[in-house]
Amino acid sequence: MTQHTLMLIKPNAVEQHHIGQIITIVEQHGFTIRNIRMFHFNDVLAHRFYNVHEGKPFFDRLIAFMTSGDTVALLLKKENAVEELRNLIGEVEPEKRKPGTIRYQFAEGVTENAVHASDTIENAAEEIRLIFG
């Protein structure tokens, strides 16, 4: 089934000039870019976007990181887009990352993991609405 999903290229990857490389990888894996936006998370939007993590020990650090610089949002389309993109970006934990994944290539840590991808169809719809309106 064709789906839409959201990918964020996080501030560390933007700052390190990896936007083009990451987009190329995504396109080479058959995703179609339906929309693209560069923006800067403000505190309110970051809290709304990451509210599922509120109360967790890493929440404040995550918000500080995501509001620290520009982010690039990609609205992507593909068959089984949510699962396919999650597989392409790889694991959050550095020791679990597989070669060839985006996080293996570009992440600098657990929080500074270069990219975000929606984890469910429902979350994708909500995240797309938050970022693209």
- Residue 84's pLDDT is what? 98
pLDDT at 97: 96
Q: What is the mean pLDDT of residues 3-21?
A: 98
Q: Catalytic residue at 18?
A: no
- Dihedral of CA atoms 7, 61, 122, 14 in degrees, nearest 10, equals -10
Given the residues 29, 47, 53, 116, select the one marked as catalytic: 116
Instruction: Map tokens 């993109």 to a residue.
Output: 85
Give which of 127, 102, 124 is closest to 45, Cα–Cα: 127
pLDDT for res 130: 97
pLDDT at position 35 is 98
The mean per-residue pLDDT over the stretch 37-62 comes to 96
Are residues 36 and 132 in contact, defined by beta-carbon separation less than 8 angstroms? no
Whether this prediction's pTM lies above 0.85 is answered by yes
Look at residue 47 in the predicted model and tell me its pLDDT.
97
Confidence at residue 116, expressed as pLDDT on a 0 to 100 scale? 98
- Alpha-helical (H) ranges within 11-115 are 11-15, 19-28, 43-49, 59-66, 81-89, 102-106
**pLDDT tens digit sequence for 96-114:** 999 999 999 999 999 999 9
Dihedral sign for Cα 76, 61, 39, 9, please. negative
Mean pLDDT of 90-99: 94
| CATH of 2-132 among 3.30.70.580, 3.40.630.10, 1.10.10.10, 3.30.70.141 | 3.30.70.141
CA–CA gap between residue 77 and residue 35 (Å, rounded): 10
Q: Where are the domains of the chain?
A: 2-132
d(CA 108, CA 123): 25
Q: What mean pLDDT value characterizes the chain? A: 97
pLDDT score for 34: 98
- DSSP, collapsed to helix, strand or coil, labels residue 9 as strand
Identify residue 23 by its one-letter amino acid code: I
The residue with tokens 């290539």 is 105
